[in-house]
Structure 1
Amino acid sequence: MKNLTHTLIASVCAGLMATSAFAMTGEEHKTAKDRISADYKAAKQKCDALNGNAKDVCMKEAKGAEDVAKAELESQYKPSERNTRKLAEARADAEYNVAKEKCDDQQGNAKDVCVKDAKAAHVKAKENAKVAAAQAKPAATAAGQGAAVAEARKDASAEKNEANYKAARERCDAMSGDAKSKCVDDAKRVHNQN
Structure 2
Amino acid sequence: MTFRIACLAAALACSAAASAAPLLGKDELKANKVRIEAQYDQAQIRCKHVEGHARELCNEQARGERDVQAAELQLRAEPTPANGQKLRLAKAEAAYAQALVKCKAILGAARSVCREDARAVFESAKAEAKLQQEVVAQALNSENQVRERAAQADRIAQAQFTAARERCEMLPGEARAACLTDARQRFGRP
Whether TM-score is above 0.5 comes out as yes
Runs of 4+ residues deviating >3 angstroms: 139-142
The equivalent residue for 2:23 is 23
Partner letter of residue 68 of structure 1? Answer: V
Distance in structure 2 (CA, Å) of the matches to 1:75 and 1:33: 13
Distance in structure 2 (CA, Å) of the matches to 1:34 and 1:79: 20
Looking at both structures, which has the greater relative contact order when contacts are Cα pairs under 8 Å and sequence separation is at least 6? 2
Q: Which structure 1 residue ranges, 5 or more long, are not aligned?
A: 1-18, 143-194
State the shift of 1:110 in Å: 0.8
1:106-142 Cα shifts (integer Å, max 9, x gaps) = 1110111111111111111111111111110137669
Distance in structure 2 (CA, Å) of the matches to 1:141 and 1:71: 26
The equivalent residue for 1:179 is none
The equivalent residue for 1:123 is 123
Partner letter of residue 29 of structure 1? Answer: L
Distance in structure 1 (CA, Å) of the matches to 2:87 and 2:81: 10
Distance in structure 2 (CA, Å) of the matches to 1:66 and 1:31: 14
- After superposition, residues 1-194 of structure 1 pair within 5 angstroms as 22-138=22-138
The equivalent residue for 1:165 is none
Total equivalences in the alignment: 124
Partner letter of residue 30 of structure 2? Answer: K
Q: Which structure 2 residue ranges, 5 or more long, are not aligned?
A: 1-18, 144-190
Look up the SS of the partner of 1:137 in the other structure.
helix
For the pair shown, the structure with the greater C-alpha radius of gyration is 2
Identity value in percent: 35
- RMSD of the alignment, in Å? 2.1
Distance in structure 2 (CA, Å) of the matches to 1:45 and 1:33: 19
Q: 1:109 to 1:141 in 2, by over 3 A?
A: same
Q: TM (normalized to structure 2)?
A: 0.61
The equivalent residue for 1:3 is none
Partner letter of residue 65 of structure 1? Answer: E
Q: Which moved more, 1:130-139 or 1:77-86?
A: 130-139
Distance in structure 1 (CA, Å) of the matches to 2:48 and 2:103: 20
Look up the SS of the partner of 1:22 in the other structure.
coil
